[in-house]
Structure 1
């Protein structure tokens, strides 16, 4: 069985993939580590392998609301493909684990000599934009319960496990709702036998049932990704 790798890197032709791997370093990210902040220059791009990263929009000093999530399927710093080294979001490590980190200068050099990397980044940027649009509409029009189910599915996909650590406070911040709303929605999912939740440890018991409980945005995101990547 081969070593698990970031999917965007896996898609590259062998020669270009090996060249990108050669300029990367494998590091471990810790929970709640901040990787970039809006309006500030970035110094590295990140290709997660095991870790997952929450992308937050910060407005008027608020703790922020999640507008995206990045795991092994994606990367952080894709705006470099547009020649922009400024971060558009607050990026926070959600689940710890390994990532490939590449300096901005090295990544810029690889982009300049790799048409395949350029195409991959452009496709990923389009998918990321489409997913953020879906997230904005989801935040405005969908109820907490279906949104929570969607978020749990997205987290499970990136954790590559049916159980992970998450608190009600964190969920409330990510979904932009009050803690009481998360408690009620999580309790309903637990009563329906879809999840088990105790002291911050969440386990998905019924994946098909959770997919049925989620809003349609989850399927829309997956379709957008599959169409190009």
Structure 2
């Protein structure tokens, strides 16, 4: 299990003086499971930087069906459209794992962007990473088998939860991965029979991280490689 970071990794990447100034203007909050933080085409009131919690970003099909496009944890933020000068969300954002986060009013955040060239450079890199990961997810949903996609999603959730245990139902996974519930049940059962996970009434425990990585599609490694390569570049 990975330790919970003291602060969000984006904020941690700022030079020390700017990091301290930014943190002084942030408000610590506790996010609740299912809490809606953004809706499509609605103004953003706050930007969020998860530290313990993580957020599910989804898009709607035919006005109702939700399809998962990304998870945001301590590696990222909610509100990246502000970097483009747009105070709107194109996705639905809700809390999937409750816990701590830092938030800032959008007007204050925009002022911080104007003051800090380091923030602008860093978040432009993060925006590039998000674009790459979204493209990877689109290809993954089209070409990879469900069991491998499920393993990838569980690894992503584990990394953001910083815990081997988290709660997510078959129904939710089916909606997020865009498949029938019976497909999730079969895929999860296969992973459980191989002793990679334990699953009971929505409670998931990762038993064998290495085995789960071997079962996941290549997209999991590609996502992590892209983040490391771009965000750590000078």
TM-score range relative to shorter protein: over 0.9
Normalising by structure 2, report the TM-score.
0.96
Q: Which residue of 1 aligns with 2:7?
A: 5
Count of matched residue pairs: 229
Asked if 1:81 is matched to 2:47, the reply is: no
Q: Contact conserved, 2:5 with 2:51, CA < 8 A, in 1?
A: no
Partner Cα separation in structure 1 for residue 31 and residue 39 of structure 2: 16
Unaligned runs of 5+ residues in structure 1 are none
Normalising by structure 1, report the TM-score.
0.98
Distance 1:196 1:3, change over 3 A: closer
Distance 1:52 1:3, change over 3 A: closer
Q: Contact conserved, 2:4 with 2:51, CA < 8 A, in 1?
A: no
Shift of 1:62: 2.5
Partner Cα separation in structure 2 for residue 24 and residue 136 of structure 1: 34
Match of 1:172 among 171, 174, 178: 174
Q: Contact conserved, 2:67 with 2:175, CA < 8 A, in 1?
A: yes
Q: Which residue of 2 aligns with 1:102?
A: 104
Shift of 1:2: 10
Partner Cα separation in structure 2 for residue 212 and residue 185 of structure 1: 15
Q: Which residue of 2 aligns with 1:115?
A: 117
Shift of 1:201: 0.9
Partner Cα separation in structure 1 for residue 34 and residue 139 of structure 2: 26
Q: Deviations over 1:104-127 (max 9, x none)?
A: 110000000101100111000000
| Aligned counterparts, 1:13-92, within 5 A | 13-92=15-94
Match of 1:124 among 112, 120, 126: 126
Runs (4+) of structure 1 moved beyond 4 Å?
none
Partner Cα separation in structure 2 for residue 149 and residue 2 of structure 1: 22
**2:11 counterpart SS class:** helix
Partner Cα separation in structure 2 for residue 201 and residue 37 of structure 1: 27
